[in-house]
A and B are shown apart, each in its own frame.
Chain A
Amino acid sequence: EVQLLESGGGLVQPGGSLRLSCVASGFSFSNYALSWVRQAPGRGLEVVASIIHSGGSTYYADSVKGRFTISRDNSKNTLYVQMNSLRAEDTAVYYCAKNGANHYYYGMDVWGQGTTVTVSS
């Protein structure tokens, strides 16, 4: 069974940092692109960052560019996102999602349960 398990969410003050992790199992991790997708309370879905299978290319939404860094460790089947200079508008549930192929141009076919990030003083 394909599984994605996120961790690292929590309450952080504006301007603070958090690192989210996502441990994957049940598929050949190094063959697939992965993404972080967030959903703010009562709002829609936004892809904030993606990374290809090898880690050699990344994508960032304009809203997080320069503040978030996505990375992966294929030896540990783990995806990360380092989130710096957090703002109130970053408050959301963050999902780790598996893209359908090795590049992030493909839609997501499996999602983790999500981890909640709250940015507030």
Chain B
Amino acid sequence: DIQMTQSPSSLSASIGDRVTITCQASQDIANYLNWYQQKPGKPPRLLIYDAANLETGVPSRFSGSGSATDFTFTISSLQPEDIATYFCQQYDNLPLTFGGGTKVDIK
């Protein structure tokens, strides 16, 4: 199975801060990577697909980059509604696997 290692596992930031989360795959997954946002008691919401493409309706302050084994997810200016846990997911190979998540809260 492909292991997805996310870091950090949690972070605190101020409103307006730039927030960066990384995801490392245990093998080359090309650009077959999604990023999801999950708020408490809610299902995951797709934000970024194919590593760098913004899903329709998602604010442009969210972005993704990377390829092969190293990926980055960025919130350019943290907003109060961005408080959530963020997950990466690879879909290069079965089983589709997720990172452990990064919990983002307000400092």
State the main secondary structure of chain B at its contact with A. loop
Q: Are B43 and A109 in contact (CB under 8 A)?
A: no
Partner of A47, one of B32, B46, B96, B101: B96
- Having A59-B95, A109-B49, one finds 17 other A-B pairs with CB under 8 Å, namely A44-B98, A45-B87, A47-B95, A59-B94, A61-B95, A104-B96, A105-B91, A105-B94, A105-B96, A107-B49, A107-B91, A108-B34, A108-B46, A111-B43, A111-B44, A112-B43, A113-B43
Interface string of A80-121 (1 = CB under 8 A from B): 000000000000000100001000111111111110000000
Give me the 9 closest cross-chain CB pairs, A-B, nearest first.
Answer: A111-B43, A107-B91, A107-B34, A45-B98, A109-B46, A47-B96, A44-B100, A111-B44, A95-B43
Which residue of chain B lies nearest to A59 when distances are taken between CB atoms in the complex?
B94
**Which residue, B45, B89, B94, B95, has most C-beta atoms of chain A within 10 A?**
B95
Complex: how many Å from CA A95 to CA B96? 15
**Measured between alpha carbons, how far is A114 from B38 in the docked complex, in Å?**
13
Give chain B interface residues in 69-97, CB to chain A under 8 Å.
87, 89, 91, 94-97
Residues of B within 8 A of A47 (CB): 95-97
B91 touching A106, Cβ below 8 Å: yes
Q: How far is the CA of A51 from the CA of B107 in the complex (A)?
A: 42
- Distance of A104 Cα from B95 Cα, bound (Å): 10
Q: Does B105 contact A (CB under 8 A)?
A: no
For the complex formed, measure the closest distance between the CB of B57 and the CB atoms of chain A, giving whole angstroms. Answer: 11
For residue B45, which residues in chain A have a CB less than 8 angstroms away from its CB?
Answer: 111
- A39 to B20 alpha-carbon distance, docked (Å): 24
Contact pattern, A 15-36, Cβ under 8 Å of B = 1, otherwise 0: 0000000000000000000010
Chain A's closest residue to B55 (CB) is A109
